[in-house]
Each structure stands twice: as structure tokens, then as C-alpha cells.
A and B are shown apart, each in its own frame.
Chain A
Amino acid sequence: MAEAEFPVLLVSNALALLPAPILERGIGLLLAVLARKHPRLFRTLAAHPPCAIGIEPIDLPHRFVLRYGGGFPSLIPTGTLDQPLNARVKGKLESLVGLLEGRLDSDTLFFSREIVITGDTETVLSLRNALERDSVDLFATAMALFGPASGLVQHAALALERRLVKTRRRLMAWHEALHAARREEASVAARCARLEAQLQEANARLAKLEARLRRRDLARDLS
């Protein structure tokens, strides 16, 4: 645990220490480069009705507001998310990045509650589907932009990569536990089903006989 947590703390602390205006400028540059690499994605975003999505990495002190639709998109760091938003997406940083890059399956992240989406689901879903069409490699882009010498970016990339793999394993283990429970249920259910099939046959025969009997009684009463 400790060795995995260390670089994460480093990223969080480093990002936390960055003053918001500098972070904002960095992100602005990143978006400009991404727009050149993924013109179709940015066209799709521009064609969307104007919207604001709050992004809450639970392991960072920053919150972000993503705005797109109409003009060029923006991603602005902010202290709190009390402005009007169409939707909010909350989760660990690596889950959010995995989602953005299309490397983690969004539905699995959501079903397992690794990320929580509230508000206007359609906006989030169409954003997800737009991202799905392009393979956005956020950190490769960031490193190319700020140079591999940028210690911060490199640390962040390494730490996130490690945690992405960990998340994937956690999702797997989470499922395995549920699955094992299900298997036991299934074998009992199969035994019950066999017994019940036999019972049903007997029952159907009984129902037919009873109906016939009732009619015969009725006929006798009438005659």
C-alpha cells in the first residue's frame, strides 16, 4: 500500500500546491493541443448545446468545471462546485482519467460505484460517446507539451498508470466476490428447478382431472 500511495500523494500535493491560475493556463494549453489532434471530437463538443459539467476528483483538493457547446471548451479549476451545473461526475482521479482516455469501461466504473454521476445523464452519456470515438491520450499529450523533463507531469503519469492498473484489478476482485456468491445460488436453483419441473407435471395432470371432475359433478347435479 505505502509504496503505491506515495507517488499519488506526490501528485495530489503537487497539483494542490499549484495555484489555480497556473493550473488553468496549463490546462488551456493542453486543450489547444488536443483540439489539433482530435478535430472531430472538438467539432462534436462545439455542436452540443452549451453545458457545464462539474468534475470532482475525490483525491484532489481541486474541483473542475468543464464547459462546452458553442465556443471552445474550457476546463476551469475551482474550489467548490456551487454554480449551476448540468451534471456532476465524482470519482478517483485515475478512474476519471481512465474514463476520459477510454481505457477503463465507463459502465463498469459506474456499476461498481467507482464513479458517481448525478444530474443530466444524457449530457454525460453523449460526452462519453464522443470521447469513445477518439482515442485521447491525455498524458502522452501533456508530456509532449511540457517536455519529458517536467517532473510533475512524469510523476503524475507514472502514478496514475499504476493506479489505473490497480483499479482494473479492484474491479475484477469486486466482481469475483459477487460472482462466487451467485454460483452457489445457481446450483441450488438448478436442483430446485428439476424438482419443480416434476411437480409441475403432476400438478398439470391434477388440474385437468379436477376440472373434468367438477364438470361431471355439475352435469350430475343438473340432471
Chain B
Amino acid sequence: MKAYLELVCPAGTPAALRAAVDAGADAVYCGFQDCTNARNYPGLNFDRHELKSGIAYAHARGCRVFVAVNTFARAGDFGPWQRAVDDAAALGADAIIVADLGVLDYAARTYPKLRLHLSVQAAAASAFAIRFYRETFGISRVILPRVLAVEEIAALIGQTDIEAEVFAFGSLGTMVEGRCYLSSYITGRSPSMDGVCAPAEHVSYQEEGNCLVSRLGEVVINRFGPHEPAAYPTPCKGRYLVHGRPIYLFEEPIGLNVIPLLAELKAAGVTALKIEGRQRSRAYVSKIVGTFRAILDSLAQGKPLPAEAAELAGVAEGGRETFGAYARGWR
């Protein structure tokens, strides 16, 4: 069993980075302000100067910084991805998070000493996939796709002996990451290449009578009754008609929370826990990271979970939570 579970936290802005570091993150992850990272929302992410000071702030407090360059490079346009890798390396990132075969190839050849973490966007879901990436590009860590049950994760770590990072809290995708075209099918912008799912410029909410209707482009994604929690119109979390019945066919708008499974994940040999949410506020980051810090410290000392564990729930997406694929019944 690994002695220490590392806490990897989201930083969508320099303010969120400082909030995460101050709240006890072991590492933060962030991206540049362009299509090279998978949270390319307006006003989010870091310019080169901000990343430099962010890294200095984190390093001064013993916290590592991972830079996500985790979208897929577009045909005939490798420039942004190459610059992102070059700059992350030059600015002293502790690792880069990569999914694309081409970007992996470039980074591994150009910066053999730079740690490579295989992004969840690569969806390496088997020991065979992980071995391929490790032998070909020398990856140090894999962020596991959110499709595996805990016992499968344990088996996978046993077979590969690789550092595994798993999602612990936040928004849960239901499709295999990096290979979902629902959003581009509706909006024309690709999560894989543009780094944005359900882009805000295509999102609208309208009050219709007592209801709030959310749309992505012209497509109705959901209709919320007067007291129902609302949600962002992500296509895989919409309500659709099947056999004439309105249902959450793919997934409900709920958040992932693995706190009750932490001991099991630790026993499975997991190296790091990842908090999702670069698109969320510093208030959110502060709360989640602080709570997870307290929980992990209690767990390490064999103490019962602190009271904050129950409180965390208030900030999950749609205010509701799931164990997701970690529990087998989810499938």
C-alpha cells in the first residue's frame, strides 16, 4: 500500500491556484489560455506570466504544478501545442498532462527529462494501453478514465506498477473521455481539438412559464421545474425523450464524490486523487481542497473522518453526488 495519497487540485485562475495551495494541495494543475487544454472557457486559464508567478508561489510552499496540454493537435496546426509544451518546460512545470499521440511524441523526444502524465482524455483503460504509452513515450503517471470500478483499478495498478491518479470529486463525464463528439455534433466546436465541451457562446437559459429551459445551440438539453436544481447543458447530462418518456438517458446532472471509498482507493494502490473543476470558483476550490486535506490527514493518521466530509456535498454539481463507475452498478 502506498503510504501517502497525493491531492491534485484544479486552478482555473491564478486566484484559484493560490486558494488551492493555501488550502493544502500537494499539486495543482492548470492550462494556458487557448485550445491546448481541455477547459478552454472564456476568461479562464493562465498567460505565460501568470503561470510563471503561479509556479513560483506554489514551489515556495512545497506544492507542485502540472500543466495540462491535453487536447488533440489539429491537422496542419501544431504550433499552439508545441509552444504550450515548450513554455511549460521552460517555466519549470513539474509535469505536463498530455493525451495526443503527436504531442506525447514531441514532448518525449524534445524534453526527455520532463515528466509526462497521461491525461484522462487519452482514456487508457487497460494495462495494455498503459504499457503501450509507457514503453513508447515513457509516461510516469496515468490519470485513469472514469469508467473503471475500484477492483479493476487495483488489478490495473498491480499489473503495471504505474503511478495512478483517479478522479475523486467533481463533474463526472459518462462517455469515454477524449472520444466524445456529442458537443461538436450540436455546436460544431470540438472538445477534443478546441478544448471546450458545451461552449458558453452556444448555451442559453430561458424562463418559460414556471420552468427554466436550457439549450445548447438550438437543441433543448433540459427543462427544470420550479424547485428542481438546475444544471449546465452538457449534452451527456441532458434529459431526453426515449419511448416518449423524459429521462436522463446518459447521466443525471450529478457530481462525483468518492470520500466513502477513499480507504479502498488507497488500498488499491492509487498514488493521487484528482479534484475536477478548473471552471469553478476560488470559493469552491478553497472549500473542497481544505476539506480533502483534513480528510486525507485523518485517514493517514487512522482517525475517523472529520465532520466537514459531510458538508462538502453542498457544492457538487446539481447538488447531488454519485460514486460513478467506481461502484459496479453504475454501468
- A111, B229: Cβ atoms closer than 8 Å: yes
B231 and A102 contacting across the interface, CB-CB below 8 Å: no
| Inter-chain contacts of B212 with A (CB < 8 A) | 113, 116
CA distance A110 to B283 in the complex (A): 14
> Does B44 sit within 8 A of A, measured CB to CB?
yes
Cross-chain contact A193 with B327 (CB below 8 angstroms): yes
Q: How far is the CB of A9 from chain B (nearest CB, A)?
A: 25
Measured CB to CB, the closest approach of chain A to B160, in angstroms, equals 25
| Contact of A197 with B328 in the complex, beta carbons under 8 Å | yes
Of the stretches A75-83, A146-154, A170-178, the one at the interface is: A170-178
Among residues of A, the one whose C-beta sits closest to the C-beta of B283 is A105
Chain A residue nearest in CB terms to B331 = A193
Q: Indicate if the CB atoms of B15 and A102 lie closer than 8 Å.
A: yes
Are A107 and B42 in contact, with the CB atoms below 8 A? no
Interface size on A, residues (CB 8 A): 44
Among B238-246, B289-297, B314-322, the stretch in contact with A: B314-322
**In the complex, how many angstroms separate the beta carbon of B53 from the nearest chain A beta carbon?**
13
Chain A residues in 8 Å Cβ range of B201: 120-122
Contact B318 A129 (CB under 8 A): no
A121 and B284 contact, CB distance less than 8 A: no
Q: Are B43 and A129 in contact (CB under 8 A)?
A: yes
Which residue of the partner chain, among B203, B317, B320, contacts A107 with CB atoms under 8 Å? B317
Interface size on B, residues (CB 8 A): 49
Any chain B CB within 8 A of the CB of A189?
yes
Given contacts A133-B14, A172-B311, A172-B314, contact A179 B320 (CB under 8 A): yes
**Docked complex Cα distance between A201 and B261 (Å):** 26
Give the complex CA separation of A190 and B315 in angstroms: 24
Instruction: From B13, B207, B281, B314, give the contact of A171 (CB < 8 A).
Output: B314
Known: A116-B212, A125-B43. A111 touches B231 (CB 8 A): yes
- Flag if B206 contacts A118 (CB, 8 Å): yes
Most B-side CB within 10 Å, residue of A102, A117, A127: A102
Decide: B313 and A176 in contact? CB cutoff 8 A. yes
Checking B15, B206, B232 against A134 with a beta-carbon cut-off of 8 angstroms, the contacting residue is B15
Measured CB to CB, the closest approach of chain A to B309, in angstroms, equals 12
Contact B329–A107 (Cβ < 8 Å): no
CB-CB under 8 A for A133 and B15, given A175-B313, A190-B329, A193-B329? yes
Of B204, B310, B311, which is within 8 A of A121 by CB? B204
Q: Considering the chains assembled together, what is the distance between the CA atoms of A44 and B44 in angstroms?
A: 12
List, sorted by A's number, 30 A–B pairs whose CB atoms are closer than 8 Å. Answer: A102-B281, A102-B282, A102-B283, A107-B284, A111-B253, A111-B319, A113-B228, A116-B207, A116-B212, A118-B204, A118-B205, A118-B207, A119-B204, A121-B200, A122-B203, A125-B42, A125-B43, A128-B43, A130-B43, A132-B12, A132-B16, A132-B43, A171-B314, A174-B314, A174-B319, A175-B316, A176-B313, A179-B320, A193-B327, A197-B328
Other 12 A-B pairs with CB < 8 A, given A107-B280, A108-B284, A119-B204: A102-B15, A105-B287, A105-B315, A113-B229, A116-B212, A118-B204, A121-B204, A175-B316, A176-B313, A178-B319, A179-B321, A197-B328
